[in-house]
């Protein structure tokens, strides 16, 4: 994987926390106060040595002790307020990321997820915990340590010009360790994070394909893939640790050299009467405190790099391209919708062969149409385009004579329903049918369940419509889950309903019953069913056959009814095996 420039993750971090910049500014002000208060002990020690010890008076000692007590108490109070404020900022960050993702993910372009698995991608959300933890530590300790060091070394510079030079060299050495020796810290941390998610992806694949990995010798393949992913992580981790190790080593070297150098230089200045003994003690305390703070941050450099890597991974979610938001509201009249496709084509990527190519089709209001084609003929891609999840590469789609491109996407979906696969939320049967739609009443749910022949079976459940379903649809059977998906679409009373390969997954008796209900003429809706089996023909007005890829085939079928030879099949299964 190519290395990522550090500037981008840092910019992403600044964008992520920008809504809280006012409160972060308050934390910085508090840190400045804490930085000045941190000088209380060195200055008190200087005063004690220079005045109180030689005077041998108790009263100045008591006054000095009381002033130091009040100063340190003030510092403790400020630190407590900082802790509370940082905790509030951490909560805000978590909620902000959650709400942004909950708002953005439903609007992500389908094209942006091509070649990716949504659940595996969303695992990056958990990196917000790293940002919370490390970001809070930086605000509490990092900013305070930095300001304490700068303020302390600035005060040190006023003691003697030599100490000014010493402070400058110490700051330059610190900057060298952080910025020069750590120049690849962020990019290697991102590489490590990528390798980590690769391992998680492999393990998810194993857990999600248990039947496959239980096959003979498949266990060895699964183990080998996991081992290769783990080996890649170890390589990335080793490269990242090399950066952190050289920084920590250099920081420890600075501590040793600076401590010994200051004592030698300060002792020389005391001997030459250019520095008092109290100033020497204060300088040692200031430098010791500054270096200790720097070492504390240096020990957490790995965590800091992990935070920037976490921000980078979060940004892969927060910056996913979304669907267009413009367009006019679709305000249709009563009745079913009219659908027209004019030269519609779609290709996955530049230079790729079209999956759907120059498709012309008109579906009149209330018409029942089946689009039949083998796997890979472009049916599912066509469904995406009809649902406004993808935009045609060529041509246009019209709904009641209005170009899709002129309509707001959310407005289209209020009147166009799609049934595809099985998708459940943890909740009751009723909640899974209504999906929060305010216009969908309990009566609509019952009517939809009745249409697909599921009402009696749902009422037989322990709590009827209030029965809780898992994210996979349990305790419903696979056939019941598919029919519930149909009921969900029917309950919304769409003007155009698109069914993608769902009927093919039902048994022949259930499929016949569902098709009869789905194509009931009393229901004013245009219905387009995608299938790879031609036994559906007797139930619909027309059959459109898609060739590979996506052409109407053979000539003459596009826009015309298909009459199958022979009598109406006794069952879908018999029709399919003739």
Residue 53: which pLDDT band, with cuts at 50, 70 and 90? low
- Cβ pair 574, 512 in contact under 8 A: no
In the predicted structure, residue 236 carries a pLDDT above the cut 80: yes
Give me the percent of the chain exceeding a pLDDT of 70: 92
As a whole number, mean pLDDT of residues 270-286 equals 80
Instruction: Kindly state whether residue 328 falls inside one of the protein's structural domains.
Output: no
Domain shared by 113 and 189, yes or no: yes
C-alpha distances (whole Å) from 522 to each of 177, 415, 452, 484 are: 77, 18, 15, 21
Please tell me the pTM assigned to this model: 0.77
pLDDT of residue 209: 82
Domain shared by 287 and 416, yes or no: no
In the chain, how many domains are there?
2
CA-to-CA distance for 321 and 111, rounded, in angstroms?
9
Instruction: Kindly state whether residue 329 falls inside one of the protein's structural domains.
Output: no
Q: What is the CATH number of the domain that holds 518?
A: 3.40.50.300
Domain shared by 218 and 77, yes or no: yes
pLDDT of residue 421: 78
Domain shared by 231 and 141, yes or no: yes
pLDDT of residue 183: 86
Identify the weakest region by mean pLDDT among 354-363, 397-406, 518-527: 518-527
CA-to-CA distance for 175 and 396, rounded, in angstroms?
58
- DSSP annotation string for 232-268: HHHHHHHHHHHHHHHHHHHHHHHHHHHHHHHHHHHHH
Domain shared by 392 and 304, yes or no: no
Which of 341, 357, 347, 355 lies closest to 396 in space, CA to CA?
A: 341
In the predicted structure, residue 6 carries a pLDDT above the cut 70: no
Domain shared by 200 and 345, yes or no: no
Which of 576, 387, 424, 343 lies closest to 499 in space, CA to CA?
A: 387
Instruction: Kindly state whether residue 324 falls inside one of the protein's structural domains.
Output: no
Q: Going by DSSP bridges, is the β-strand pair 368-372/526-531 parallel, antiparallel, or unpaired?
A: parallel
pLDDT of residue 551: 44
pLDDT of residue 576: 38
Instruction: Kindly state whether residue 2 falls inside one of the protein's structural domains.
Output: no
Phi, psi of 248 (to 5 degrees): -65, -40
As a whole number, mean pLDDT of residues 549-558 equals 39
In the predicted structure, residue 567 carries a pLDDT above the cut 50: no
As a whole number, mean pLDDT of residues 159-178 equals 85
Q: How high is the mean pLDDT of the chain?
A: 82
In the predicted structure, residue 54 carries a pLDDT above the cut 80: no
In the predicted structure, residue 155 carries a pLDDT above the cut 80: no
Domain shared by 306 and 432, yes or no: no
Domain shared by 538 and 429, yes or no: yes
Q: Count CB atoms within 10 A of the CB of residue 364.
A: 14
Which residues neighbour 564 within 8 Å (Cβ) at sequence distance 6 or greater?
Answer: 534, 537, 538, 575
- Cis omega (within 30 of 0) on the bond before 308? no
In the predicted structure, residue 253 carries a pLDDT above the cut 80: yes
Instruction: Kindly state whether residue 518 falls inside one of the protein's structural domains.
Output: yes
User: Which runs of consecutive H residues, i.e. helices, occur in 326-477?
Assistant: 379-386, 409-413, 429-434, 442-451, 455-459
CA-to-CA distance for 512 and 509, rounded, in angstroms?
5
pLDDT of residue 95: 93
Q: Which domain holds residue 106?
A: 7-318
Residue 232: which pLDDT band, with cuts at 50, 70 and 90? very high
C-alpha distances (whole Å) from 241 to each of 129, 245, 247, 313 are: 21, 6, 10, 20
| Burial (0-12, 13-18, 19+ Cβ within 10 Å), 164 | middle
Domain shared by 364 and 243, yes or no: no
Residue 549: which pLDDT band, with cuts at 50, 70 and 90? very low
CA-to-CA distance for 309 and 192, rounded, in angstroms?
9
Instruction: Kindly state whether residue 312 falls inside one of the protein's structural domains.
Output: yes
Instruction: Kindly state whether residue 1 falls inside one of the protein's structural domains.
Output: no
Helix (H, G, I), strand (E, B) or coil at 418: strand
Residue 547: which pLDDT band, with cuts at 50, 70 and 90? low
As a whole number, mean pLDDT of residues 95-124 equals 83
In the predicted structure, residue 162 carries a pLDDT above the cut 70: yes
pLDDT of residue 242: 93
Helix (H, G, I), strand (E, B) or coil at 181: coil
Helix (H, G, I), strand (E, B) or coil at 337: coil
Q: What is the CATH number of the domain that holds 219?
A: 1.20.1560.10
Domain shared by 359 and 252, yes or no: no
Rg of the chain (C-alpha set): 35
In the predicted structure, residue 569 carries a pLDDT above the cut 70: no
- Cβ pair 31, 217 in contact under 8 A: no
At 155, list the tokens.
């005060």
199-226 pLDDT, tens digit each? 988 888 888 788 888 887 788 888 899 9
At 570, list the tokens.
């006794």
pLDDT of residue 554: 37
Q: Which helix (H) or strand (E) holds 346?
A: strand 339-347
As a whole number, mean pLDDT of residues 168-183 equals 87
Domain shared by 389 and 483, yes or no: yes
Domain C-terminal end among 318, 353, 376: 318
User: Which runs of consecutive H residues, i.e. helices, occur in 342-441?
Assistant: 379-386, 409-413, 429-434
Domain shared by 246 and 356, yes or no: no
At 400, list the tokens.
């009641």
Instruction: Kindly state whether residue 287 falls inside one of the protein's structural domains.
Output: yes
Domain C-terminal end among 250, 283, 318: 318
């Amino acid at each position: 994987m190519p290395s990522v420039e550090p500037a981008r993750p840092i910019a992403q971090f600044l964008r992520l926390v920008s809504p809280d910049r006012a409160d972060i500014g308050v934390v910085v002000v508090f840190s400045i106060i804490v930085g000045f208060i941190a000088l209380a002990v060195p200055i008190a020690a200087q005063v004690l040595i220079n005045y109180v010890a030689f005077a041998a008076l108790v009263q100045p000692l008591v006054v000095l002790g009381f002033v130091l007590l009040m100063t340190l108490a003030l510092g403790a109070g400020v630190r407590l307020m900082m802790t509370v404020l940082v905790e509030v900022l951490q909560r805000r960050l978590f909620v902000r990321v959650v709400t942004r993702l909950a708002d953005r993910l439903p609007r992500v372009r389908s094209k942006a997820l091509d070649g990716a698995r949504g659940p595996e991608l969303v695992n990056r959300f958990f990196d917000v915990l790293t940002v919370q933890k490390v970001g809070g530590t930086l605000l509490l300790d990092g900013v305070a340590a930095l300001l304490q060091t700068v303020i302390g070394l600035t005060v040190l510079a006023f003691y003697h010009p030599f100490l000014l030079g010493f402070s400058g060299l110490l700051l330059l050495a610190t900057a060298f360790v952080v910025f020069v020796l750590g120049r690849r810290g962020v990019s290697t941390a991102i590489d490590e994070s990528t390798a980590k998610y690769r391992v998680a992806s492999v393990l998810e694949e194993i857990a999600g394909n248990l039947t496959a990995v239980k096959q003979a010798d498949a266990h060895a393949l699964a183990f080998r893939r996991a081992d290769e992913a783990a080996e890649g992580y170890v390589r990335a981790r080793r490269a990242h640790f090399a950066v952190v190790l050289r920084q920590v080593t250099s920081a420890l070297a600075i501590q040793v050299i600076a401590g010994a150098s200051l004592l030698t230089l300060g002792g020389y200045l005391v001997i030459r009467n250019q520095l008092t003994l109290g100033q020497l003690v204060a300088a040692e305390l200031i430098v010791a405190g500054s270096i200790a703070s720097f070492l504390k941050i240096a020990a957490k450099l790995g965590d800091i790099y992990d935070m920037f890597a976490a921000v980078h991974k979060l940004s892969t979610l927060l910056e996913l391209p979304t669907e267009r938001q413009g367009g006019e509201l679709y305000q249709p009249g009563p009745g079913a919708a009219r659908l027209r496709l004019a030269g519609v084509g779609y290709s996955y990527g530049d230079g790729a062969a079209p999956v759907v190519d120059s498709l012309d089709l008109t579906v009149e209001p209330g018409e029942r149409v089946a689009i039949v084609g083998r796997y890979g003929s472009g049916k599912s891609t066509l469904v995406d385009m009809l649902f406004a999840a993808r935009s045609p590469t060529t041509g246009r789609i019209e709904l009641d004579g209005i170009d899709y491109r002129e309509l707001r996407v959310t407005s289209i979906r209020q009147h166009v329903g799609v049934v595809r696969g099985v998708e459940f939320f943890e909740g009751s049967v009723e909640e899974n049918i209504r999906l929060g739609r305010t216009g969908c009443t309990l009566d609509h749910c019952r009517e939809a369940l009745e249409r697909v022949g599921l009402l009696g079976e749902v009422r037989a459940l322990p709590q009827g419509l209030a029965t809780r379903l898992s994210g996979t649809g349990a305790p419903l059977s696979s056939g019941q889950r598919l029919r519930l998906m149909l009921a969900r679409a029917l309950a919304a009373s769409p003007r155009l309903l698109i069914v993608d390969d769902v009927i093919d997954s039902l048994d022949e008796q259930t499929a016949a019953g569902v098709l009869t209900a789905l194509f009931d003429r009393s229901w004013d809706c245009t219905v387009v069913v995608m299938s790879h089996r031609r036994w559906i023909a007797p139930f619909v007005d027309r059959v459109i056959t898609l060739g590979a890829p996506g052409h109407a085939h053979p000539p003459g079928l596009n826009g015309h009814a298909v009459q199958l030879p022979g009598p109406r099949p006794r069952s879908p299964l018999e029709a399919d095996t003739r």
